[in-house]
Structure 1
Amino acid sequence: MLIGFAVGASLGLLLGGLVGLSGAARAALAPTVQAIRAVPSLAWVPLLLLWLGIGETPKITLVAIGAFFPVYTTVSAGLDHVDPRLRELGRAYGRRGPALLAQVLIPAAAPAVLSGLRLGLAQGWLFLVAAELIASSMGLGFLLIDSENTGRTDILLLAIVLLALLGKASDALLGVAERQVVRRWS
């Protein structure tokens, strides 16, 4: 989960930043990315299994896909919707290029970026469970299906509770980071 989220979120931050900052990149990349985003999550599973086989690699890839799109969307929209007067003010104070990005644009877009990271994390958990439900011999998603097939409601409920606890714990950690960033740039 952590590897897939890190890969997907990093790619989402990079590509979303590029699209959010550059009109040319937006024109070239946004339609393709949005078309790929429309593919339902479960449709990726057979393709990834065919290409990558059964194991951890397709699960990591599916989590990365799940985390990528919310992060990409919120980063590109957050940077694109920074108040033009704020950009102008930054330029009036001599901020250009990387300085404008680091001191004006990123702090202004930080709430949207952090919301996107939290959405990407939740989506990553969803995609992980989907991958484990369909093609896995271990993991909590596999445990859900296995306990359903064997009639073990106790194990099924335990797997659901564990997923809820893991999801909430990871979201809480990201929430702490979010509060630190917002406090720093407020």
Structure 2
Amino acid sequence: MELLIRPGDITRTPADAVVNAANSTLLGGGGVDGAIHRRGGPEILAECRRLRETELPGGLPAGRAVATTAGRLPARWVIHTVGPVYARTIDKSGTLASCYRESLRLAAELGARSVAFPAISAGIYGWPMDDAARIAVESSRAMAELVREVVEQVLFVPYGPAAEEAFRAALEA
């Protein structure tokens, strides 16, 4: 499995699956979540509402992942995952790592050969970018053996120069 950096706008990144740093309601929000819902169109929200009415009435727990259509995005699926809110006094790194593991596991189940990730939890949820990038890269590398029959490329799509540098450093480590 190849790990690559494709800086820019994740909503314009061609991939079989695009990962959404969602909130637990799955009904859209700010940052990456809002951008994916806006660009992807109403089909994504409609499927998210169906998930909330059926499988996830209480919302999607942090660290888990579910898939919907990608609507108008240059992808087949959106994989929604909820990252943890950063806390200095509580180690939630296992939950953040689970976002990447569960998203890759689901991508493999769907048959996705390429998966594009944002920097989960590194925006409004306050996770320090260097640590978020490290966890993203380490978690993806740890899943390589399990998903290698299907997933060929993991694309990290950092937004902005600081995020790009953090992901480059994590990949080189």
> Where on the TM-score scale, by shorter chain, does this alignment land: which range?
0.3 to 0.5
Point out the structure with max Rg over C-alpha: 1
Q: TM-score scaled to structure 2, two decimals?
A: 0.32
Q: TM-score scaled to structure 1, two decimals?
A: 0.31
Whichever structure has more strand as a proportion of its residues is 2
Q: Which has the higher relative contact order, 1 or 2, with Cα contacts under 8 A spaced 6 or more apart?
A: 2
Whichever structure has more helix as a proportion of its residues is 1
